[in-house]
Amino acid sequence: MSERSQFLWLFFSLSGRLSPVAYALAGVLLVLVQFFPFYQFARVELNTTASQNWAMICWGVLLISAWATFAVTAKRFHDFGKPTYFALISLIIGPILLVVLACFRSDPGPNRYGRRTNAPGDS
């Protein structure tokens, strides 16, 4: 699998499993990606074209990162053998869930979502 397809699988696919370390690193990357446009928005003067542009970028990043958080969390729940709908919790209590899921070991061996952790599902 190419690096690009691994990146797309990690942040946008709902199939497969994810280890605690990969989940934590993906979560940190998502937080950093969210932080940058918000920081830029805070730096510009309000009611200017630049502030409006940064506000639109912030909304776009927020929407895309919400899906990416959901996808990463779904794969983390798959590593526990739990279905995707458990990841809906991440949209409500995301930061707390990031810390909790990053601290617990997953189910050893294969389960119905894949043969191994940090790989796409077998579907």
Domain edges within the chain: 19-103
Residue-wise pLDDT for 26-71, tens only, equals 999 999 999 999 999 999 998 899 999 999 999 999 999 989 989 9
- The confidence band for 109, taking pLDDT boundaries of 50, 70 and 90, is confident
Measured torsion, CA atoms of residues 43, 47, 48, 54, in degrees rounded to the nearest 10: 50
Residue 60: predicted pLDDT: 96
Instruction: Return left, alpha or beta for 26; rule: phi > 0 is left, psi -120 to 50 is alpha, else beta.
Output: alpha
What do you get for the CA distance between the two ends of the chain, in Å? 15
**Rg for the chain (alpha carbons), in Å?**
16
Residue-wise pLDDT for 71-105, tens only, equals 999 999 999 899 998 888 767 776 777 777 788 88
What mean pLDDT is predicted for residues 15-21? 94
Q: pTM of the entire structure? A: 0.74
